[in-house]
Amino acid sequence: MRETQEPLEVLHRVFGHTGFRGMQEEVVRHAVAGGSGLVLMPTGGGKSLCFQVPALCRPGLGVVVSPLIALMEDQVAALRQQDVPAAALHSDLDPDEARAVRRALNEGSLKLLYVSPERLVNEETLARLDEMRIALFAIDEAHCVSQWGHHFRPEYRGLTVLAERFPGVPRLALTATADPRTVQDIQRQLRLEDSPLFRASFDRPNIFISAQPREQERAQLRAFIRRAGDGTGAGLIYCGSRRKAEQTADWLRADGHDSLVFHAGLDPVQKREAHRRFARGDAVVMAATIAFGMGIDRPDVRWVAHTDLPRSPESWYQEIGRAGRDGLPAQALLLYGAGDIALARHRIGESGAGDDQKRVERQRLDAMVAIAEAATCRRQLLLRCFGEDAPEPCGQCDICLSPPRLFDGTVAAQKLLSAVLRTGRRFGVGHLVDVLHGKTTAKVAQFGHDQLPTFGVGRDLTETAWKGIARQLVAQGALDVAVENHGELVPTDAARPILKGERPVMFREELVTPASRPMTRARAADAAALASPGDPCFAALRDWRRRTALAQGVPAYVIFQDRTLAEIAAGRPDSLAALGTIPGVGATKLERYGQAVLGIIRDCD
Ligand code: ADP
Ligand code: ZN
C-alpha cells in the first residue's frame, strides 16, 4: 500500500501550482490526517483542490459526490490531463462505459471516482466500496442537501448513510452557500456537527462590481460588454424570465456575438449542448435564467450581468462569483428598476411559504435592494451579508470610484407623492413626470390634470431625476408599484410622515454617465508580467490550445488556463526546465505539451 504523500509536493508535481491559496492548506492537512469537516468558500475560491489533493495524498480511492454530470465530466477530463486516474459514474453512461468504470474500480486502478448521489447510495455501489480502501468522501455542492437553498436535491439526503457505513473515512462537504440555516442543515444531514467548519473570506477582490438603474437596457449592456469583454473569455447575462433570456440571446446574436441560451424549459439534450458550447467556445455570451448555475467551471468568464434584481445578496454573489475564477480582473453589472423591487415583494407575499420563511426572504430582498441603491461601498454591504466586516471601502466598485452625492429630497418627495395622491393613485411614473413638468399632453388634458396645484411644480428636476426619486421611494418602502396592473404608483403608510414633513428623506443624485472602470486599467493593475492580449505569441499559444482541445474533445482551459498561457508568452521560456517553473505547468503537462509549446514560442520570435 502506498505511503501518505506530502500535500505540497502533490500540489507542485500534479497540479503545477506554486502554493496553496487561503484556507486550502489548512483543509488539506486536516483531511490528510483523516479529519472530516465542512468547507465554505466562495465560488472560484478553489474548493476542488481541497479534496483532490488529500485524495491523492492518502492511500485508497477518493469518492466525490457531485450533482451535475457536466461538472463531473469536466473535472475528470482535467484530472486525466494531469495523469490522475479518474472516472465518473452516473446515469448518462452507456453500458460499455459503465462497465469500464466498474472494471477499473475492481482492479483498484482508479484514484478519484466522481459519482452522482443516487449512484453512490445504490446498494450495489456501497457494497463494492465496502470492499475497498477509501481515501475520503467529498460532497461537492453540499448545499444541495438543504431544503433552504435553491438547489435542493432529495437524493443528497441519502448521503447520511456515509457516516454510519464508513465511520473511519473522512467526509469533506464543500459549498459556496454560507447562510446559517443552510450550514446547519448540511452539518446535521451529513453528521458533521462535531467536525470543524472551515470558513474562507467571501471576498473576491478581482471582481469589479457595479449597479445601475435600468434605463435603456440594451444600450447599457452593450456599453458594459464593450468595456468588460476581452475578446476571448466568456460572458454571462442573467435574466428574470425564460422569455427574456431568449430575447436577449437573439439580439446579442444580431449584434454579432456568439450567443447561447439556457433555462429550465430546454430539454436535457439542449441543456447539455448549451453547457458544452459554453465550456468549449471562446468568446461566447450566455443569456440564461438562474437555472444556469452549477457546473460552470470555466475559469475565464470575464463578466456577469443581471438584467433584473436578484432575490437575495446570496444568489447575486453566487452568480457574479462565476466571473474571474482564474483570478484575473472580471466585472459584474446589475441593472434593476422600481418594478423589480415591487414585483419581488409581491411574489414573496403571494408565495405559499410560511411566515418565518417569508420574513427571511423579505430581509434578504431588502438587503439586496440596499446594495443596489447603495450610497457607500457596495462590497462592504455585500460582505456584511456574509458576516464579514471589511474595515475599508474596497476601491473596486462603482461607488468607491465615484461616490454619488446625496441630497435632501424631502420637498421633491412631497411633490411626487402629492402628485400621486391628487391624480388618484392611478398613474405610472411617466404621466406623473408630465404633470410635474407641466406638460399639456393629451392624457393630461383628458383628465384635467393641468388644473392640479402640483401641475408644473417639478420643472427644476429632469425626467431621469424624477424617475430616480420614484424608484428610491419604492426602495425605501414609501411607494408601491401595482405590479398586476399597469405599474401605477401607490403610496404606502410610510409615505404619510414624509408628506407631513415629519421625516426627511435623502436621495442619491442620479448619475448621468454611470461610473465604471475601463478594463485596460484593471488589467494593467493585475500583473505587468502578463502578456498583453494583443501579444502574437499569446495568440499563437491560444490557437495551438484550441486545436489541441478540439482534437481531444475537452474544454480548452483543461489543457492550459489563460493565465498560464499569458505567463508563458510573457516569460518566453526556452527550455523544458524553464517552462516547468511556470505556474499551471505540472510534470505531466510538461511531458505532454512541453515540446509543442516551446516550438510555438520559437516560431513567434
Ligand atoms: P471552486 O470550485 O471553489 O469554485 P475551483 O476549484 O474551480 O473553485 O478553482 C477555481 C480556480 O482557481 C481554478 O481555475 C483553479 O485552477 C484555480 N486554483 C485553485 N487553487 C489554486 C492554487 N492553490 N494555485 C493556483 N490556482 C488555483
Ligand atoms: Zn467599494
Report the CATH number that the domain containing residue 177 is assigned in CATH.
Answer: 3.40.50.300
Q: What is the pLDDT of residue 527?
A: 40
Q: In degrees rounded to 5, what are phi and psi of residue 35?
A: -90, 150
Ramachandran quadrant class, 427 (left: phi over 0; alpha: psi -120 to 50; beta: rest): beta
- The mean-pLDDT minimum among 180-189, 370-379, 517-526 falls in 517-526
How far, in Å, is the centroid of ligand 2 from the Cα of 471? Answer: 22
How far, in Å, is the centroid of ligand 1 from the Cα of 33? Answer: 22
The ligand 1 atom at the shortest distance from the C-alpha of residue 24 is 23
- Rounded CA-CA distance 212/196 in Å is 40
The ligand 1 atom at the shortest distance from the C-alpha of residue 41 is 3
Residue with the nearest Cα to atom 4 of ligand 1?
44
CB 39 within 8 A of CB 198: yes
Residue 424 within a domain = yes
Residues 350 and 419 in one domain: no
pTM to 2 decimal places: 0.77
CB 87 within 8 A of CB 101: yes
The ligand 1 atom at the shortest distance from the C-alpha of residue 583 is 25
- Rounded CA-CA distance 373/565 in Å is 40
- The mean-pLDDT minimum among 108-117, 293-302, 325-334, 391-400 falls in 293-302
Residue 419 belongs to domain with CATH number: 1.10.10.10
Total structural domains within the chain:
4
- Rounded CA-CA distance 327/347 in Å is 37
Is the four-CA dihedral 336, 338, 343, 344 of positive or negative sign? positive
Residue ending a domain, among 143, 168, 199, is 199
Residues 125 and 258 in one domain: no
Distances (CA, A) of 69 to 1, 52, 270, 278, 484: 31, 18, 14, 15, 39
Q: Identify the bridge partners of residue 62 per DSSP, sorted by sequence position.
A: 112, 136
Distances (CA, A) of 355 to 149, 180, 352, 360: 17, 18, 9, 9
- Rounded CA-CA distance 499/497 in Å is 5
- Rounded CA-CA distance 24/39 in Å is 9
| DSSP secondary structure string for all residues of 215-229 | SSHHHHHHHHHHHH-
Mean pLDDT of 434-441: 95
Closest CA to 484 of 350, 307, 364, 335: 350
How far, in Å, is the centroid of ligand 1 from the Cα of 385? Answer: 24
Residue 264 within a domain = yes
pLDDT, tens only, 112-158:
999 999 999 999 899 999 999 999 999 999 999 987 666 788 888 89
86-89 sheet: strands from edge to edge: 86-89, 112-115, 61-65, 134-139, 171-175, 37-40, 197-199
- Rounded CA-CA distance 410/507 in Å is 9
Q: How many CB atoms lie within 10 A of CB 281?
A: 16
- Rg of the Cα trace of the chain? 27
Residue 518 within a domain = no
- The mean-pLDDT minimum among 75-79, 244-248, 549-553 falls in 549-553
- Rounded CA-CA distance 218/345 in Å is 25
Mean pLDDT of 41-68: 94
Residues 454 and 582 in one domain: no
Cell of 332: 459584474
- Rounded CA-CA distance 202/321 in Å is 10
Residues 380 and 442 in one domain: no
Beta-carbon contacts of 180 under 8 Å, excluding residues fewer than 6 positions away, are none
Q: What is the pLDDT of residue 149?
A: 64
- Rounded CA-CA distance 545/582 in Å is 17
The residue ranking higher by pLDDT, 563 or 421, is 421
State the ligand closest to the CA atom of 293: 1
How far, in Å, is the centroid of ligand 2 from the Cα of 207? Answer: 11
Ramachandran quadrant class, 426 (left: phi over 0; alpha: psi -120 to 50; beta: rest): alpha
- Rounded CA-CA distance 547/556 in Å is 9
State the ligand closest to the CA atom of 52: 1
Residue with the nearest Cα to atom 25 of ligand 1?
17
The ligand 1 atom at the shortest distance from the C-alpha of residue 18 is 24
Residues 124 and 52 in one domain: yes
Mean pLDDT of 92-97: 89
Q: Which of 26, 48, 66 to mutate to test the pocket of ligand 1 (most atoms within 8 A of CB)?
A: 48
Q: What is the pLDDT of residue 515?
A: 39
Residue 519 within a domain = no
Residues 375 and 269 in one domain: yes
Q: What is the pLDDT of residue 2?
A: 52
Residues 295 and 193 in one domain: no
Residues 318 and 346 in one domain: yes
Mean pLDDT for the chain?
89
Q: Is the pLDDT of residue 323 over 80?
A: yes
State the ligand closest to the CA atom of 82: 1
CB 74 within 8 A of CB 155: no
- Rounded CA-CA distance 57/70 in Å is 26
Mean pLDDT of 369-386: 89
The residue ranking higher by pLDDT, 74 or 172, is 172
Residue 89 within a domain = yes
Q: Which of 21, 41, 76, 301 to mutate to test the pocket of ligand 1 (most atoms within 8 A of CB)?
A: 21
The ligand 1 atom at the shortest distance from the C-alpha of residue 557 is 14
- Rounded CA-CA distance 545/538 in Å is 10
How far, in Å, is the centroid of ligand 1 from the Cα of 46? Answer: 4
Q: What is the pLDDT of residue 115?
A: 96
Residues 421 and 396 in one domain: no
Residue 569 belongs to domain with CATH number: 1.10.150.80
- Rounded CA-CA distance 351/157 in Å is 25
Q: Report the C-alpha dihedral over residues 261, 262, 266, 269, rounded to 10 degrees.
A: 90
Residue 515 within a domain = no
- Rounded CA-CA distance 391/400 in Å is 14
The CA-CA-CA angle for residues 488, 494, 498, to 5°, reads 95
Residues 316 and 347 in one domain: yes
Residues 111 and 150 in one domain: yes
Closest CA to 284 of 238, 308, 247, 252: 252
Contacts within 8 Å (CB) and 24+ apart, 271-274: 272/69, 272/70
- Rounded CA-CA distance 148/372 in Å is 24
Give the structural domain span for 281.
207-401
Q: Which of 12, 13, 17, 41 to mutate to test the pocket of ligand 1 (most atoms within 8 A of CB)?
A: 17
The ligand 1 atom at the shortest distance from the C-alpha of residue 299 is 14
Residue with the nearest Cα to atom 20 of ligand 1?
46
Residues 82 and 218 in one domain: no
- Rounded CA-CA distance 413/419 in Å is 10
| DSSP secondary structure string for all residues of 540-591 | HHHHHHHHHHHHHTS-HHHH--HHHHHHHHHH---SHHHHHTSTT--HHHHH
Q: Give percent above pLDDT 70 in the chain.
A: 94
State the ligand closest to the CA atom of 207: 2
pLDDT, tens only, 444-486:
999 999 999 999 999 999 888 898 898 888 888 888 887 666 7
State the ligand closest to the CA atom of 209: 2
Distances (CA, A) of 127 to 91, 120, 122, 123: 18, 10, 9, 6
Distances (CA, A) of 461 to 196, 416, 453, 575: 57, 11, 17, 66
The residue ranking higher by pLDDT, 305 or 314, is 305
Residue with the nearest Cα to atom 27 of ligand 1?
46
Residue ending a domain, among 199, 218, 237, is 199
Residue 522 within a domain = no
- Rounded CA-CA distance 474/208 in Å is 27
Residue ending a domain, among 380, 401, 422, is 401
Kindly indicate the confidence band of residue 266, based on its pLDDT and cuts at 50, 70 and 90.
very high
Ligand 1 pocket, Cβ-based, cut-off 6 angstroms: 17, 20-21, 24, 41, 43-49, 297, 299, 325-326, 561
- Rounded CA-CA distance 60/44 in Å is 28
Residue 516 within a domain = no
Mean pLDDT of 430-437: 95
Mean pLDDT of 47-60: 96
Closest CA to 589 of 73, 83, 87: 83
pLDDT, tens only, 496-540:
999 999 988 888 886 544 334 444 334 433 443 455 667 888 889
Q: Is the pLDDT of residue 603 over 90?
A: no
The CA-CA-CA angle for residues 321, 326, 330, to 5°, reads 55
- Rounded CA-CA distance 412/509 in Å is 12
